[in-house]
Amino acid sequence: MKRNILRACLGLGFSCLLAVPGIAAAKTADSYTQRPEAQALISELVAQGFSKAELEQVLDQAKQQKSILKAMSRPAEKRLTWGEYRKLFLTKNVSARALNSGKKTVRR
């Protein structure tokens, strides 16, 4: 479980590192572990209880993915109002499941 969280944190953090100008242009053959931005991320995660060796091992396996960089640089398709979001997420089915879940919790 901790390893999955570690990979998720590094995936997000590493994607952010690649989004910084100049970092993505560097040779992908180089170890990302040695970059100052990566060292800062590792230090921050070690302070939160992660293993430095595991962080470096995962980061050493990281590869630049142009599709992710491209997706991060695109603006959102459009901004939705609360009413538009509500239609997407608060359907009758979701509301019914939430009510049933609440009833089960109260009965216990």
Q: Is residue 102 part of a domain?
A: no
Check: CB of residue 105 under 8 Å from CB of residue 48. Answer: no
Provide the number of structural domains found in the chain. Answer: 1
Is residue 84 a part of any domain in this protein? no
What is the extent of the structural domain holding 54? 2-73
* pLDDT exceeds cutoff 70 at 4: no
Highest mean pLDDT out of 4-13, 70-79, 90-99? 70-79
Please tell me whether the overall predicted TM-score, pTM, comes out greater than 0.85 for this model.
no
Q: Does any domain span residue 53?
A: yes
Residue 33 within any structural domain of the chain: yes
**Of 1, 19, 20, 13, the residue nearest 46 (C-alpha):** 13
Give a yes or no: residue 65 inside a domain: yes
Q: Which pLDDT tens digit goes with each residue over 41-66?
A: 999 999 999 999 999 998 888 888 89
Q: Is the pLDDT of residue 1 over 50?
A: no
Hey, is 38 helix, strand or coil? Answer: helix
